């Protein structure tokens, strides 16, 4: 059953190994030379699987990977539900919401302190299953120690909160930063915040031109 069709891949719900799984399949792009398309889809498939494994090594919950198929350009992974944090965050009890946002911040801090950049940090890419959070969609992830990359990651999260939860976005982002600071430290958090403001100013400057 098709769960989602994106620009790069399609997600299917299936049953394998006696359990529900998600199959993420990178689709062929007709505008690319076939050989190049095969190479790109193979690389991105294997790259995402590696990045998910690195996230696990950081202590960040991600779906368990059962199979990486470079012929089919697909990843078969654990089904952790389809409740996106984006869709339920505002309706959660206050204490539960705060706990989850702080935990999200800790997980981002764990990735960043280990040189892992998610690349698409939004509440759409965090699944909530019985109080447990899972980070998904590591297709744009990379290994980097750059302050700029960490700033962009958190800037994306702040923009996502402003877009979807605008009435309380500042409060929500403060909770994320609280958890983040617990992991990376207050000084490093200040450095990243300064970079976020610089990135935001750049964006405003470009939009005003």
37, 87, 90, 120: the active-site residue: 120
List, for residues 67-84, the tens digit of each pLDDT value.
999 999 999 999 999 999
Considering only the top CATH level, what class is 2-78? alpha beta
User: Is 129 annotated in the active site?
Assistant: no
Closest CA to 179 of 93, 113, 101: 101
What does the domain layout of the chain look like in residue ranges? 2-78, 85-208
pLDDT tier at 31, thresholds 50, 70, 90: confident
Q: Domain 85-208, CATH 3.40.50.1000 — does that match?
A: no
List, for residues 149-184, the tens digit of each pLDDT value.
999 999 999 999 999 998 899 999 999 999 999 999
Mean pLDDT along residues 32-53: 94
Average pLDDT over the chain, rounded to an integer: 93
**pTM (two decimals):** 0.92
Judge whether residue 205 has pLDDT over 50. Answer: no
* Cα separation values, 6 from 2, 23, 111, Å: 11, 13, 25
Relative to beta strand 65-69, strand 9-16 is: unpaired
Mean pLDDT along residues 136-143: 95
* Cα separation values, 190 from 53, 159, 168, 184, Å: 29, 18, 22, 10
User: Which structure tokens are listed for 109?
Assistant: 């801090």
pLDDT tier at 206, thresholds 50, 70, 90: very low
- Alpha carbons 102 and 179: distance in angstroms, whole number: 4
Mean pLDDT along residues 125-133: 94
């Amino acid at each position: 059953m098709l769960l989602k069709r994106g620009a790069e891949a399609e997600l299917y719900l299936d049953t394998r190994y006696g359990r529900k799984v998600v199959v993420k399949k990178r689709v062929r792009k007709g505008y690319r030379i076939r050989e190049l398309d095969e190479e790109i889809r193979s690389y991105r498939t294997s790259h995402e699987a590696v990045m998910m494994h690195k996230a696990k090594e950081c202590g960040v919950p991600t779906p368990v990977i059962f199979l990486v198929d470079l012929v089919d350009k697909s990843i078969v992974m654990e089904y952790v539900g389809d409740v996106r944090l984006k869709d339920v965050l505002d309706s959660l009890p206050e204490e539960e919401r705060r706990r989850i946002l702080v935990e999200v911040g800790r997980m981002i801090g764990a990735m960043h302190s280990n040189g892992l950049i998610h690349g698409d940090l939004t509440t759409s890419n965090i699944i909530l299953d019985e109080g447990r959070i899972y980070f998904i969609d590591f297709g744009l992830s990379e290994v980097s120690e750059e302050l700029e990359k960490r700033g962009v990651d958190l800037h994306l999260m702040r923009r996502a909160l402003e877009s979807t939860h605008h009435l309380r976005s500042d409060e929500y982002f403060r909770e994320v930063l609280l958890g983040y600071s617990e992991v990376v430290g207050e000084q490093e958090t200040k450095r990243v915040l300064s970079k976020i403001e610089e990135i935001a100013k750049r964006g405003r400057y470009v939009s005003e031109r």
